[in-house]
Amino acid sequence: MEYRIEKDSMGEVKVPVDKLYGAQSQRSIDNFKIGIEKMPKEVIEAFAILKKAAALANNKLGVLDDVRAKAIAKAADEVLEGKLEGNFGLAVWQTGSGTQSNMNVNEVLANRANQILNDPEHKVHPNNHVNKSQSSNDTFPTAMHITAVLTLENDLLPSLKQLKDTLHEKSVQYMDIVKTGRTHLQDATPLTLGQEISGWVRMLERSEEMILSGVSFLKDLALGGTAVGTGLNAAVGFDVEVAAQISALTGKNFKTAPNKFHSLTSKDELVFAHGALKALAADLLKIVNDIRWLAAGPRCSIGELLIPENEPGSSIMPGKVNPTQCEAVSMVVAQVMGNDVTVGFAASQGNFELNVYMPVLILNFLQSSRLLADCMRSFNDHCASGLEADEERISHFVTNSLMNVTALNPYIGYDKSAEIAKKAHKDGSTLKEAALALGYLSEEEFDKYMDLKAMCAPKTVKVKE
């Protein structure tokens, strides 16, 4: 491999000739050979957006000339177009402020801008020009917020809506199928399958509302705070203008954070937004667990739902089909729960004017968002959209449930109703047979009161004294 000599404030270092990065990037590569996790591509793209926005803002404010600003913007566009891949392979496990990744982008953009210009009179410097009016301490938090908003709004929320809409359709389709309810894993009073599924839909609606709330917090940007929040070395009005430029480039309504001291050291917005992801994960686990319980079988368990038969379920048992999509979602949930611990701990480690756990925080945040979006798409396409009701099995269970006796409470009281249920269970008889044998109701009265569909939408009745 051929090398060139690059210099920084620490001296000289050898850099591969085919790379656009400089000395500081190479020092990070040499000094942090830790793990296999690299700075996520989404973070680099967010940096490209903010660097272009900064160049445009500085130019508009009169502190960066047209020639350099245009060259930096063009180089940033090439990053976003994927033309400069292979220049951003720094480890996540680096300085906790993300300084080296900030400089990695600065160096690549500066060197590429110089290639574009080929003009010694307008040499672009990574610190003096690309990083103008900025510090790693405000660029990395800004990049985190940009990439978090983009991944949530452009990827996760559409996947969530798709699954929510699919389950809503199933809820409407099965709204009139009466089934037995279950509490404590035991038989309970009836409801319709559509009502049961509507609960899942509402969970996803609630998660969507919480995520949108988190997104609104993430649209506050730290950029303009520079080193410690004071805005040292930034042009007056830079923070407002650069937020406007980022908004124009992304189509999202970003704004400058009202207090930069908060935005540099606190990561509470990311904690809140990831908490919404954790809530979504908890809801998804509840939904997929319900589905795999209800689909358990096919002959020796509940089996009220039929799931798509996507692949063989066993290497030894022929014909076995497993709820694999449900299992995949449940594993994603386990990962998201673990990520939430990391996000919370990382955010708690802000000391004085800076948080120095930012790379690991955004790594976990983005993984959670990506995994949840992917698993919801997969679950929607390969399970939820193909769910079917086994109406015969549902009818068998609901008509034989002893908890239907609850409908008699208003007419004969709790104690007599309990006696009927216990007798039926002991004798193996039906509730009707037990009620008639005990003489508590006539056949006509029993048939009148035992209306399973009416139990799904009860009206107030007067209890007999």
Kindly list the catalytic residues: 184, 314
pLDDT band at 372 (very low <50, low <70, confident <90, very high): very high
pLDDT of residue 460: 59
Q: Do 288 and 163 share a structural domain? A: yes
Q: Which residue has the tokens 């610190």?
A: 127
Statement: residue 89 has pLDDT above 90: no
β-pair partners for 4: 15
Range of the domain at 224: 138-392
Is 269 contained in some domain?
A: yes
Is 463 contained in some domain?
A: no
pLDDT band at 462 (very low <50, low <70, confident <90, very high): low
What percent of the chain is predicted at pLDDT more than 90? 97
Burial class (CB in 10 A: 0-12, 13-18, 19+), 74: middle
Statement: residue 422 has pLDDT above 60: yes
Is 423 contained in some domain?
A: yes
CATH number of residue 243's parent domain: 1.20.200.10
Kindly report, residue by residue over 44-80, the tens digit of the pLDDT: 999 999 999 999 999 999 999 999 999 999 999 999 9
pLDDT band at 397 (very low <50, low <70, confident <90, very high): very high
What is the tally of helices (H) and strands (E) in the chain? 18, 10
How large is the average pLDDT for residues 373-387? Answer: 98
pLDDT of residue 350: 85
Q: Do 376 and 349 share a structural domain? A: yes
Is 465 contained in some domain?
A: no
β-pair partners for 38: 91
Q: Which two tokens stand for residue 415?
A: 């104690």
Do β-strands 186-192 and 305-306 pair in parallel, antiparallel, or remain unpaired?
unpaired
pLDDT band at 211 (very low <50, low <70, confident <90, very high): very high
How large is the average pLDDT for residues 212-226? Answer: 98
Q: Do 407 and 322 share a structural domain? A: no
CATH number of residue 420's parent domain: 1.10.40.30
Kindly report, residue by residue over 283-338, the tens digit of the pLDDT: 999 999 999 999 999 999 999 999 999 999 999 999 999 999 999 999 999 999 99
Kindly report, residue by residue over 159-199, the tens digit of the pLDDT: 999 999 999 999 999 999 999 999 999 999 999 999 999 99
Statement: residue 464 has pLDDT above 70: no
Task: From 105, 132, 159, give the residue that closes a domain.
Answer: 132
Residues of each annotated binding site for substrate: 97-99, 135-137, 183, 315, 320-322
CATH number of residue 68's parent domain: 1.10.275.10
Domain count, the chain: 3
Task: From 392, 415, 432, give the residue that closes a domain.
Answer: 392
Task: From 337, 368, 392, give the residue that closes a domain.
Answer: 392
pLDDT band at 138 (very low <50, low <70, confident <90, very high): very high
How large is the average pLDDT for residues 424-440? Answer: 97
pLDDT band at 458 (very low <50, low <70, confident <90, very high): confident
Whole-angstrom Cα distance, residue 229 to residue 137?
9
Statement: residue 417 has pLDDT above 60: yes
Q: Do 195 and 325 share a structural domain? A: yes
β-pair partners for 7: 12
How large is the average pLDDT for residues 338-363? Answer: 97
The pLDDT mean for the chain works out to 97
Burial class (CB in 10 A: 0-12, 13-18, 19+), 70: middle
pLDDT of residue 123: 97
Q: Do 291 and 148 share a structural domain? A: yes
pLDDT of residue 262: 98
Q: Do 302 and 187 share a structural domain? A: yes
Whole-angstrom Cα distance, residue 150 to residue 41?
13
Is 312 contained in some domain?
A: yes
Residues of each annotated binding site: 97-99, 135-137, 183, 315, 320-322
- Sequence-distant (6+) residues with CB within 8 A of 201 are 164, 167, 168, 171
What percent of the chain is predicted at pLDDT more than 70? 99
pLDDT band at 459 (very low <50, low <70, confident <90, very high): confident
